[in-house]
Amino acid sequence: MEGLALWKTNVDKRFEGVEDCMICFSVIHGSNYSLPKKACRTCKKKFHSACLVRD
């Protein structure tokens, strides 16, 4: 159980302060498992690169 508690602590630290992507409403992208990194110049919110691509 100590290993699980340590893992949870590490995961919590990794995602601390990371906000959801405002396009897909997720922290981790569903297909490439990335975090939101592309910041909008106007609102400063961050988005997944894959969410910004137009098909």
- Ranges of H-type helices in the chain: 2-14, 49-52
The pTM is what? 0.75
10 Å CB burial of residue 36 (0-12, 13-18, 19+) is: buried
- Per residue in 1-55, pLDDT tens? 899 999 999 999 988 999 999 999 999 999 999 999 999 999 999 999 999 987 6
